[in-house]
Amino acid sequence: MDSLSKGMAAEEGTGVARTPVCLCVLCGLPASGKSTLARTVLGSAAQLGWRASVVSYDDLIPQHAFQIRAVQNSGAQLTEVQTEWKLHRHTVLQCIELFLKTPEVMAEPPSSFQINVDAWEQCVRGLLRPKPMDHSQTDRTPLIFILDDNFYYPSMRYEVYQLARKYSLGFCQVYLHCDLESCINRNQSRPEPVPTEVILDMVKRLESPNPEKNPWEELSILLNTTDKLSTCDIQRVMELISSSLRNPLSPIEDTAEQKEADRLKCAMNVVHQADQACRRLISEAMKTAKENHVSSEYMRSLATRLNEAKATLLCSLREKVLQETSLAQEEDIDVERVVQRAVDVFDRDRKEILMRITGDPE
């Protein structure tokens, strides 16, 4: 068996077992050139006889799921929208997984799947091939999924890596580095530009692939997309994809990778518990403001400021937990203590905000 098709026996009789597959993640700021690169790679793949598809998260996920910052009501509603957004992202990967298993079925996803069905059908239309007359033959034509999204957190990219490892697929990443001014200028020329404040916020959050810190990001390259993509850039991407096809991931558990997964899980757990506690404090603050007969305008201002303070705290908390729980650390982090410290900080901020608006610290 050649190296391109090794490791594809995850499940006998499924599409995954028959076909060499690569999940190629494109990450970077909005307007950094991801969609342009995806279309170019699509054409290059076709010239090589590969089947390829661009999985555009912007097209597949309903627009309302991206409007997190537009929510200015209670903390509970904000968290609900954030949770919905994560579920939509998970659904995209679930669709890819089910398509690999049963292509004919997932050409038209069930209505229960919360994605744009028309966009998904367009996405996979060119991937389907007629079944060979000789059932002893299998289709070894490489299948490439180009995942087009910002993927600004390693945890977002790690979910794709886990799917690739589960079925012994190829996995690689392309980080598109473009200076902020160019991204903002390009974005403004779009028919539906992303709010500039969203891009500015993402700059603070974006964590580019770091193989030294995350061994699973080893097969990654950086492209400077401030200027136009060159022929050399495209060649590098195609060579990266070829390398990932020749070296599919092993489903065998690796201790270091498991610890990395545990770190991410721990951070998510801490942030979730802190979020729940902060939501309760926000609810109490809103109740106090209402009892003080605060005007509706000030109520909206209070809710906005409290939710912004909570979002900032949770972002910092997540980064702090990831930094403090190194891969070599054997002892579990004291989740309860870390959460309580964070909540105490938020409670002080909450009382200060409440005092400014109502004059009552509770």
Average model confidence (pLDDT) for the chain?
80
Return the pLDDT at 258: 66
Which ranges of 53-126 would DSSP assign to H, the alpha helix? Answer: 57-60, 75-101, 103-106, 117-124
Q: How confident is the model at residue 145 (pLDDT cuts 50, 70, 90)?
A: very high
> How wide is the angle at C-alpha 50 spanned by C-alphas 46 and 51, nearest 5°?
90
Query: Count of CB atoms within 10 A of residue 135's CB?
Result: 7
Amino acid present at 162: Q
Per-residue pLDDT at 5 exceeds 60: no
| Long-range residue pairs from 119-123, CB within 8 A, at least 24 positions apart, any chain | 119/56, 119/59, 119/60, 120/60, 120/95, 123/53, 123/54, 123/55, 123/56, 123/59, 123/60
Return the pLDDT at 318: 81
Return the pLDDT at 330: 40
Q: Which domains does the chain have, with CATH numbers?
A: 3-246 (3.40.50.300), 255-358 (no CATH)
CB within 8 A of 45, min separation 6: which ones? 51, 52, 142, 144, 238, 241
Is the pTM higher than 0.75?
A: no
Query: Count of CB atoms within 10 A of residue 3's CB?
Result: 11
Percent of the chain whose pLDDT exceeds 70: 76
Our measurement of the distance from residue 123's CA atom to the centroid of its chain's CA atoms, rounded to an integer in Å, reads 18
Return the pLDDT at 134: 47
Return the pLDDT at 12: 37
Per-residue pLDDT at 29 exceeds 90: yes
* Cβ atoms 56, 115 nearer than 8 A: no
Q: How confident is the model at residue 47 (pLDDT cuts 50, 70, 90)?
A: very high
Q: Which of 191, 29, 59, 219 is nearest to 124 (CA)?
A: 59
Task: Report the C-alpha gap between 5 and 8 in whole angstroms.
Answer: 6
* Cβ atoms 171, 219 nearer than 8 A: yes
* Cβ atoms 268, 155 nearer than 8 A: yes
Return the pLDDT at 110: 59
Return the pLDDT at 1: 39
Per-residue pLDDT at 343 exceeds 90: no
Tokens of 352: 């200060």
Percent of the chain whose pLDDT exceeds 90: 34
Per-residue DSSP letter, 13: T
Return the pLDDT at 316: 83
Per-residue pLDDT at 41 exceeds 90: yes
* Cβ atoms 325, 333 nearer than 8 A: yes
Per-residue DSSP letter, 335: H
Choice among 20-29, 100-109, 265-274 with the minimum mean pLDDT: 100-109
Per-residue pLDDT at 137 exceeds 70: no
Per-residue pLDDT at 244 exceeds 90: yes
Mean per-residue pLDDT, 1-7: 40
CB within 8 A of 15, min separation 6: which ones? 99, 100, 101, 102, 103
Return the pLDDT at 34: 94
Per-residue pLDDT at 76 exceeds 70: no
Kindly write down the DSSP assignment for every residue of 177-228, as one continuous string.
E--HHHHHHHHHTSSSPPPHHHHHHHHHH-----TTT-GGG-SEEEEE-SSP
Question: Residue 170: which H helix or E strand, with range?
Answer: strand 170-177
Tokens of 21: 């597959």
Q: How confident is the model at residue 144 (pLDDT cuts 50, 70, 90)?
A: very high
Q: How confident is the model at residue 71 (pLDDT cuts 50, 70, 90)?
A: very low
Q: How confident is the model at residue 69 (pLDDT cuts 50, 70, 90)?
A: very low
Backbone angles phi, psi at 142, to 5 degrees: -55, 145
pLDDT tens across 308-325, in order? 888 888 888 887 777 766
Mean per-residue pLDDT, 284-308: 86
pLDDT tens across 158-200, in order? 999 999 999 999 999 999 999 999 999 999 998 888 889 989 9
